[in-house]
Structure 1
């Protein structure tokens, strides 16, 4: 199982050192490291929801939560959020982690461990607060009583970033079944005080430092912001897709001879962001239309998760929906019209007749007053008069935010809303303070949502 050869160990040490530099830069701020030092821990009130104790580690926690919800919604028929046991949620968490690791595997799985801390923790856990040795019967009782075992962590001494990195070890596994077995038997490696960090290092080491740096293209900035502690887009993309590319558009784009790498296939879990509305980025169809109705949502500083049990939200596009998407890709400002000079490009992109003579005829028909623009509605009426939509008009949405202070009564709980897609192509005007609606409109321009307990926070 573990590989103890000295050559392998020195290689692991070298890669772990490179990963440390890639993540944190030349020096690690203690306050940022502390914010990331937490385990995967469920809340009491919402059995399957993970808690994020401080700002920063959402770049790992939100994608893990998204994959956990994907498994729960799509692969666990007949579930109810309220009747989930702690054991079931632990299994879901391990499955979610394995889902992420499978996307990152190159040769084998390389699990990063903190062996000395586990040993110290076991020694400490057998003493009570006055240093007396506890009996094994006490241990058994604590293990069997789920109410006490839920959040009880062994005592641990806080490690400095230097100590943490000096103690890291690596176990190599060939199959995902072995990884699942390891995490099942060593769940404290995930729930302990460094569980989130250890999993992030596992993802990067399994992917391989050379692969990560080649996908990132630019490694001048660390993956974790050295002041605010939040994760870069490259780290988020690695967690969601197994590729550490820095952009969220579809495929690669050539800008002045520079190849800017994006998402190369439909994602299992989607991604939408408020930053798109602010024109900082363009999220492509592979992220907006994932295979499952689960999306990580980005604000300026935080990641949350949107999800639904309405599978028709991710059914294959109808020809009409494809046409709208392609038309709008030539209308980046969302004006619902394109310059008439681009008509041929749109027709060609849709595999419609695009001979120059035909394009000229259609241009005159669709722009009779020679205004130099073609309206979306005129285009759709001409080429796709029967408007089929695969998306239902109304559906339920749920939202997760892992930070207790961003939830009602400081309790992490899924929030429910009823969404309606309006008939019109006009965007629902919303106040700039409603960040939730603004972000949702990057995916559904004509959406309105009635949240049952007030609008949830993206921050």
Structure 2
């Protein structure tokens, strides 16, 4: 195994003991990017673990199908469209990981010749190749390739321009579909970003990108795929915690496409401001994707919506501000006026409805009352009849009044309530979609 390959292995898998990486763990991550037969624009995930790569790729892929492709039936794309949109998506993520236009791209590939040179090869001027399985002895013997053997034959191809990258990535479509496609793409992102650059961004370099016990991708790995930065946190910018600097998402990421909702994590506003209405939902063990075509969801906040959000920082229910906190929210207003108009009985409370009527009487939310939504979960066992397909539903975004409709209280809804506290979801299926 070459020194470069070993560095990648140590970064991704850690330095396991004498037993090495468990064969079952390596097997779970050994899959390609495979489209579902039931949903032609959805990628399948065979076992737990690689959702850390597959879900971000699926989210960017949906963005490209829904918003960058004209005249296409996004739910029934052709095989040629599958090839084009997947390779375009992989190229886009690699471009995001590249630090500057002057730096090269690096692809991790398997050898196409009938030799097994274990050295790390850099081809500065590669010819576009057709990486068919029949041309690759290691692909033919994929079932027999164990962890050590697989990593000993990985080669590195260097590409200098965006155009060259996209051409070669497209030519390697069969490689991305084959048994090790997900891992080869992950290694390509790491090599393009630079191993030392990733180490400088990760908070704890002793923790591998893939958990050695459960096989889940780390937050740094997910952030690397989503934003191009392998930081360990999802808050805005850097923070000082107990005298130590903790790295979060930088301001330049505010214009990124996606936004992670985690049940157990506080997500910063930069990741809450995507360009497109596509969100990665996270449970404790799995990643899935929630999306819609309703662009109004990512429009800039109106003053009344901003006021509502500020109001909710003082009251999680978003309905009432109690005595002692009134002056915090009205520090720019006349307190006596607030008391006389919004709290005439001197109860020491302000209702959200009265507050919005007083200061924003003519402003309505730009978000429609209802719109179609979809949920994607790549695991077969998490889908009806074990067929990976989008679950379709209708979202109702209510006002501050008590909603008239009460739907399920599932993890999907609780995730979305961190963005829209009064959202209700009506799914067309008998059971709500699963986050796990």
TM-score tier after normalising by the smaller chain length: 0.7 to 0.9
TM-score (norm 1): 0.80
Following the alignment from structure 1 to structure 2, what is the Cα–Cα distance between the partners of residues 438 and 159? 42
Q: Distance in 2 between matches of 1:104 and 1:121?
A: 31
Normalized per residue, the structure richer in helix is 1
Q: SS at the partner of 1:321?
A: helix
Equivalent residue, structure 1, for 2:425:
449
Give the C-alpha shift of residue 58 in structure 1: 0.3
CA distance 1:42–1:319, shift in 2 (3 Å): same
**1:180 paired to 2:156:** no
Q: Distance in 2 between matches of 1:230 and 1:195?
A: 17
The residue number in structure 1 matching 2:39 is 46
Q: What residue is the counterpart of 2:295 in the other structure?
A: 311
Q: Deviation per CA, 1:95-122, whole angstroms, max 9, x where unpaired?
A: 1112211211024343333333x44599
Matched, 1:198 2:193: no
Distance (Å, rounded) in 2 between the aligned partners of 1:287 and 1:338: 27
Map residues 126-145 of structure 1 onto 2, 5 A cutoff. Answer: none
Indicate conservation of the 8 Å contact 1:306/1:400, yes or no.
Answer: yes
* Structure 1 residue 220: Cα displacement: 3.0
Q: How far apart are residue 245 of structure 1 and its match?
A: 1.8
Q: Which moved more, 1:285-294 or 1:251-260?
A: 251-260
1:19 aligns with 2:12: no
Per the TM alignment, residue 341 of structure 1 is displaced from its structure 2 partner at its CA by 5.1
Name the residue aligned to 1:251.
237
Identify which range, 156-165 or 66-75, moves more after superposition: 156-165
After superposition, what is the alpha-carbon deviation per residue over 1:32-77, rounded to whole angstroms, capped at 9, x for unaligned?
Answer: 1110011111122221111111110000000001001001111112
388 and 121 in structure 1: CA distance in 2 versus 1, 3 angstrom threshold = farther
Output one character per residue of 1:111-153: Cα deviation in whole Å (capped at 9) or x when no partner.
333333x44599xxxxxxxxxxxxxxxxxxxx9xxxxxxxxx8
Q: 1:233-252, aligned counterparts within 5 Å?
A: 233-252=219-238
Say if 1:340 and 1:367, in contact at 8 Å, map to a contact too. no
Select 1:296's aligned residue among 258, 273, 280: 280
State the secondary structure of the residue aligned to 1:287.
Answer: coil
Deviation at 1:423, TM superposition (A): 3.0
Secondary structure of the corresponding residue to residue 56 of structure 1: coil
Using the TM superposition, name which of 373-382 and 191-200 deviates more. 373-382
Q: Which moved more, 1:417-426 or 1:85-94?
A: 417-426
Aligned pair 1:56/2:40, yes or no? no
- Does the aligned pair in 1 maintain the 2:94–2:189 contact within 8 Å? yes
What is the rounded CA distance, in whole Å, between the counterparts of 2:180 and 2:427 in structure 1?
Answer: 35
Partner of 1:146: none
> What 5-or-longer segments of structure 2 have no aligned partner?
117-131, 133-138
What is the CA–CA distance in structure 2 between the aligned matches of 1:98 and 1:326, rounded to whole Å?
Answer: 39
- Taking structure 2 as the reference length, the TM-score comes to 0.84
Shift of 1:239: 0.8
